[in-house]
Amino acid sequence: MIAGRQPLRMCLYCRRRSSKDKLFRLVRSEDGNLIWDRSGKEQKRGYYLCKHLACVQGIAQSRKSAVRLKREVQEQLTAFLERQDGSGESD
Ligand SMILES: [Zn+2]
């Protein structure tokens, strides 16, 4: 273990690399769509998406992506981001 070094993961949509705490972790469900692995503990291949509305909406609307976001997942992620907005970091 190297202290202070975090593995970077690439956002499915914008392809920028960020540390895991700045990304949503998604896994593929049985029907092939992506669901939110909120606990981060699913023993499946993870897909990552920035905690930005632009990336959540972008991937949801993308027709080119090999992975699709369930509508309910898009809503979960959007709701999560909306709760964070305006409430400040400290709350
Ligand atoms: Zn992104």
Q: How many CA atoms lie within 13 A of 60 on its CB side?
A: 18
Domain spans of the chain, in order of start: 8-84
Compute, in angstroms, the gap from residue 55 CA to the centroid of ligand 1: 5
Compute, in angstroms, the gap from residue 17 CA to the centroid of ligand 1: 8
Compute, in angstroms, the gap from residue 73 CA to the centroid of ligand 1: 16
Where do the H-state alpha helices sit in the chain? 53-61, 71-84
| Sign of the alpha-carbon dihedral angle for 83, 15, 59, 37 | negative
- pLDDT value of residue 70: 85
Compute, in angstroms, the gap from residue 89 CA to the centroid of ligand 1: 20
Map tokens 């993961």 to a residue. Answer: 9
The CATH architecture assigned to 8-84 reads 2-Layer Sandwich (3.30)
- pLDDT tens for 33-76 read 899 999 999 999 999 999 999 999 999 888 776 677 888 999 99
Compute, in angstroms, the gap from residue 38 CA to the centroid of ligand 1: 17
Nearest CA to 56 among 89, 26, 86? Answer: 26
